[in-house]
Amino acid sequence: MKLRFNKGAVILKAITLNYGVVPELVAEKTREIVDELLPDQDDFNFAKYDLHEVPVQQIIEDAMTIPFLSDYKVIVVKNSYIFTGDRGKTAVEHSLEALVEFITRFDGPNYVIFEVNHDKLDERKKIVKLMKQQHQVNKIEAMDEHALRQWIKKSLNEQFKDIKQDALDELIQLTGADYKLITNELEKLLLYVGDEPIIVLSHVKLIVSRSLEQNVFLLTDYITTNRKKEAVQLLHDLINMKEEPIKLLALISGQYRLYYQTKILNQKGFSEAQIAKSLKIHPYRVKLALRKVGRLDLSHILGIMEKCTETDYQLKSSYMDKVLILELFILSI
């Protein structure tokens, strides 16, 4: 496949595949490419498909059609799971033979962008090998905490705003360094501060909601530090927020499993980054976990995990009130 040039003098190939574990970042990369190719928002020459809904054969047919009063058109294909090992939760049947032929021979004039919301591609598949050999494949990495902080500052500066360091720390903590949550909360903050140039700690505390993940982290922290009253109160707060007891227990159990895994890997000499990569989780979660596991014995963590298993059985089999079962679980640790 020969290289092609767009209007912005950015080198692109006829087919691009963007993939990564954070869908919002993958979509943002796609938007950047589309904006370069179609700066005038040419709706006549832009199409978007979803492989959960449309067979790839139909998309190939569209890609082969002549653009309308333009040199080319751009086609975005979302949820392109066929490049991974996933089977996809859809009844739509895709012809991989047709896709192989398309990837092998297609050279425009149109552009096709596949989006894959997954941390890796299935390297065994012929379509993946062909994509890497003949077209453009972009892996979109999740931002670590440092990158997120820089991105937040940059995004606010573009809006002629700034944020105090303690306010930024609080924002990261409340959202668990989750890109999507941070994006949503920044929008709320900007609306709230209005013409004020600087976001301060009081703004963040008033406007930003603590994520469910961070609430569960706080709940496990209360449990491990024997602050039973605060733990039970937070439990009731989460129940009042319509969180299901079984789901909460699963999240609590998952948090202690994370404590166990990070402690073992840390003892083996793994760095934060290596632990995050090994467990396939955000580095910020590892950072928080490592702060807690230093004073916890592995036997103590295993004991709580066993109680989680027992409580899960009770929740699914007992006629007792499920909230009461969770309260007793917290008080028994």
Residue that terminates a domain, selected from 139, 163, 188: 139
CATH number of the CATH domain containing 149: 1.10.8.60
Q: What is the pLDDT of residues 275-309, one digit of tens each?
A: 988 998 888 899 989 988 888 889 999 999 999 99
What's the CA gap between 294 and 214, in Å, rounded?
Answer: 19
- 153 in the same domain as 103: no
Q: What is the pLDDT of residues 23-48, one digit of tens each?
A: 999 999 999 999 888 887 777 889 99
How many independent structural domains does the chain possess? 3
Residue that terminates a domain, selected from 161, 181, 207: 207
- 123 in the same domain as 16: yes
- 201 in the same domain as 222: no
Chain position carrying tokens 């702060």:
291
The predicted pLDDT at position 274 comes to: 92
pTM of the model: 0.71
Q: Which domain holds residue 79?
A: 4-139
- 168 in the same domain as 121: no
Q: Which two tokens stand for residue 29?
A: 């990369």
The predicted pLDDT at position 2 comes to: 39
